[in-house]
Structure formats: C-alpha cells, structure tokens
C-alpha cells in the first residue's frame, strides 16, 4: 500500500518544516508543500479498492473529489485541524495536513458508501 511508504516521508517532514519555518521566519509557509505532498495518499485510503480496478471516468471523479475535499479542509481548517496546527513548529505543520487528509478520506468513504446504496 502506497500510503505506508509515505509514513517515513511524513516523519521526515516534521524537522524539514520546522527548519523551513525558521529560515522563512513564518508559520506554515505556503512555499513549502512537503506537508501536502506527503499526506495526499491518506485521502484516498478509503477508495483503495477503486484503484485495483481498471481506470474509468468514475476513478477520476473520485480523485478530483478527494483533492477538492483536501483543499477545503486544509484551507478552512475546522476546529480540530486548527487546534493541531498550533502544535510546535513542523509537528503542527504536518499534523494539521494529516488531519485534513483523514477528514477528506472519511467524507470520501461516506460519499462512496452512501452513493452505492442508491446506484448499485
């Protein structure tokens, strides 16, 4: 599973993002995308069976929905995600995006499960 391979990258991101904050003298600088890059696979964990089938138009729709959901949670940061961002330095930078990815994945899972009850 690809997401497991991203766990070490996520862990490397904590000191990396800490250093970026120090060098750029800003919290969670937008120029640093390591946090987004390393958590995106976690958005799609609930859809992993979809990726075992041949690629269809539906696959691209779900991928697009996942990216949109992730950006929504990453930008608007509901309370739990906002609270996690307050953790020190790179830990907060990485954890808030991981929580945004998990929230996105849960919404995707619910949407896929709910839609199947109507269209399957």
How many residues can be counted in the chain?
A: 120
Distance CA 54, CA 115 (A): 20
For the chain, the domain total comes to 1
Q: What is the rounded average pLDDT of the residues 100-117? A: 88
Q: What pLDDT score was predicted for residue 119?
A: 52
**Is the model more confident about 115 or about 19?**
19
Residue-wise pLDDT tens digits, 69-92: 999 999 999 999 999 989 999 999
- Cα–Cα–Cα angle for 83, 86, 87, rounded to 5 degrees: 110
For 54, which DSSP code?
P
The pTM score is 0.89
Residue-wise pLDDT tens digits, 5-39: 899 999 999 999 999 999 999 998 999 999 999 99
Within 8 A by CB and 6+ apart from 7, the residues are none
Residue range(s) defining the domain that contains residue 86: 2-119
């Amino acid at each position: 599973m690809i997401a497991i391979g991203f766990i070490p990258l996520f862990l490397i991101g904590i000191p990396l993002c800490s250093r970026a904050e120090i060098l750029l003298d800003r919290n969670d600088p937008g120029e640093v995308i390591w946090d987004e890059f390393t958590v995106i696979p976690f958005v799609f964990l609930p859809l992993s069976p979809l990726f075992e089938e041949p690629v269809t138009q539906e696959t691209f729709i779900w991928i697009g929905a996942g990216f949109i959901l992730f950006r929504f949670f990453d930008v608007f940061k509901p309370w739990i995600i906002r609270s996690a961002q307050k953790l020190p330095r790179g830990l907060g930078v990485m954890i808030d995006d991981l929580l945004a990815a998990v929230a996105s994945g849960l919404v995707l899972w619910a949407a896929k499960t709910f839609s199947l009850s109507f269209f399957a």
